[in-house]
């Protein structure tokens, strides 16, 4: 089989790239290790930057997002029992959209049901080959049968645990990593959100976040030790702990209920350079991971897609390869900015196991400054709504 772009991974990066290219008449094949149901069942990101929203609209996915998503003009930051608000709109003229990754992925799969879109699900032993030459191809197993796809380019959209990154030779690839000494325990519950905007809470017992999916679906997170297990956290224990960490007025009014999903995610910052090797391009989590504080993971995947989509368009439409040549440097410049912001926000909001009294005072002083300084608030707002592409 032959295609123009072979896309490894049917998560948001792979599907969005495929959808945008399809609208311009460029052929793709998507290879996904899991089933469609599995991919659609994952609960992940919740906040879309302004640029991500625009890109999804360009991909023809705006209708349900505009109808069902929630536009937020700002966010609350809480420090023990004090809280203040960062006004994104006032500082940047921009807003963010609360619309879950689960919904984005469902919209992307629904959109491709309308066209003859080849996706191979449940594939194994995916192997991108000859990507440093002129005739790359990808082999894989499906139902015990070996398949081969010849292509012009390979897009590695297969997440952190995928195979694409490792196809770049060790002596070319450079990896940067910080693993944080805590995780996030998250729950989803069919209850109304406690607040009209998100609350990021710094507390001596650990960080907490109040988020949402819609008017009757809330998403809450608690910082937890890395060795905690989901089974150790009853719903009651979760709610009691959350109430301790968020401001009193929120704790007094929060509506609790049974969780419909509960999971623990580790926190890490990770960047792999370069994001291009010959005819292989890495996109999204395949090349970088950020801790979720600041909601940058999915949004960075979208900006990578933006750069690669425009570079491929230039190649096929104008015969101009400059965008492809510059892809890695352009994507990485934005990746490092988001890595810095997510690291700063994580470091400022969480309790570290070895935190000294000095560290503690520094954190409080950082948040005091944020509360009182228009410039500091503008800097947070600028990063949160998303730096320009």
Binding site for ligand PHB (CB under 6 A): 45-47, 198, 211, 219, 292-295
Catalytic residue status for 91:
no
Which does residue 297 touch among ligand PHB, ligand RFL, none (CB within 5 to 8 A, set by kind)? Answer: ligand RFL
In the set 296, 306, 315, 350, the catalytic residue is 296
Select from 109-117, 249-257, 294-302, 379-387 the region that touches ligand RFL (CB under 6 A): 294-302
Select from 142-150, 271-279, 293-301, 360-368 the region that touches ligand RFL (CB under 6 A): 293-301
Q: Which of 3, 6, 21, 33 binds ligand RFL (CB under 6 A)?
A: 33
Closer of 44 and 64 to ligand PHB (Cβ) = 44
Instruction: Write the binding mask 145 to 174 for ligand RFL: x where contact by CB under 6 A, - elsewhere.
Output: ------------xxx-xxx-----------
Catalytic residue status for 220:
no
Which does residue 293 touch among ligand RFL, ligand PHB, none (CB within 5 to 8 A, set by kind)? Answer: ligand PHB
Catalytic residue status for 72:
yes
Q: Judged by CB under 6 A, does residue 386 bind ligand RFL? A: no
Q: Judged by CB under 6 A, does residue 295 bind ligand RFL? A: yes
Q: At what angle do helices 297-318 and 12-23 cross, to 10 degrees?
A: 30
In the set 22, 72, 91, 350, the catalytic residue is 72
Which does residue 32 touch among ligand RFL, ligand PHB, none (CB within 5 to 8 A, set by kind)? Answer: ligand RFL
Which does residue 206 touch among ligand PHB, ligand RFL, none (CB within 5 to 8 A, set by kind)? Answer: none
Shortest gap between Cβ of 222 and ligand RFL (angstroms)?
A: 13
Catalytic residue status for 200:
yes
Q: Which of 7, 26, 28, 46 binds ligand RFL (CB under 6 A)?
A: 46
Instruction: Tell me the Cα Rg of the chain.
Output: 21
Q: Interface residues with ligand RFL (CB under 6 A)?
A: 8-14, 31-34, 39, 44-46, 101, 123, 126, 157-159, 161-163, 265, 284-285, 292, 295-298, 301
The catalytic residue positions are: 72, 200, 292, 296, 384
């Amino acid at each position: 089989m032959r295609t123009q772009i072979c896309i490894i991974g049917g998560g948001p990066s792979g599907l969005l790239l495929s959808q945008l290219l399809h609208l311009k008449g460029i052929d793709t094949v998507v290879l996904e290790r899991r089933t469609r149901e599995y991919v659609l069942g994952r609960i992940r990101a919740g906040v879309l930057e302004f640029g991500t929203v625009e890109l999804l609209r360009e991909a023809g996915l705006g209708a349900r997002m505009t109808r069902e998503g929630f536009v937020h003009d700002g966010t609350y930051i809480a420090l023990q029992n004090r809280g203040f608000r960062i006004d994104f709109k006032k500082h940047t003229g921009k807003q963010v959209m609360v619309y879950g990754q689960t919904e984005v992925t469902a919209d992307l799969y629904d959109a491709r049901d309308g066209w003859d879109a080849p996706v191979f699900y449940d594939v194994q032993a995916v192997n991108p080959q000859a990507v440093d030459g002129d005739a790359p191809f990808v082999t894989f197993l499906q139902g015990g049968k070996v398949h081969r796809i010849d292509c012009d380019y390979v897009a590695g959209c297969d997440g952190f645990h995928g195979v694409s990154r490792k196809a770049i030779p060790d002596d070319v690839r450079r990896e940067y990593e910080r693993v944080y000494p805590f995780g996030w325990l998250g729950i989803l519950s069919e209850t109304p959100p406690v607040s009209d905007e998100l609350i990021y809470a710094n507390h001596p017992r650990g960080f907490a976040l109040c988020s949402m999916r819609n008017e009757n679906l809330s998403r809450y997170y608690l910082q937890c030790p890395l060795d905690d297990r989901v089974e150790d956290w009853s719903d009651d224990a979760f709610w009691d702990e959350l109430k301790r960490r968020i401001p009193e007025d929120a704790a007094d009014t929060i509506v609790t209920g049974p969780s419909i999903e509960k999971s623990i995610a580790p926190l890490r910052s990770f960047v792999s350079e370069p994001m291009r090797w010959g005819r292989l391009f890495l996109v999204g989590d395949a090349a970088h991971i950020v801790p979720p504080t600041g909601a940058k993971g999915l949004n960075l995947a979208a900006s990578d897609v933006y750069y690669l989509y425009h570079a491929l368009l230039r190649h096929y439409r104008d015969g101009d390869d400059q965008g492809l040549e510059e892809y890695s440097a352009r994507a990485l410049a934005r990746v490092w900015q988001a890595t810095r912001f997510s690291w700063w926000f994580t470091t400022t909001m969480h309790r570290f196991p070895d935190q000294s009294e000095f560290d503690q005072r520094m954190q409080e002083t950082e948040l005091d400054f944020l509360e009182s300084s228009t410039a500091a608030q503008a800097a947070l707002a600028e990063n949160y709504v998303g730096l320009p592409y």
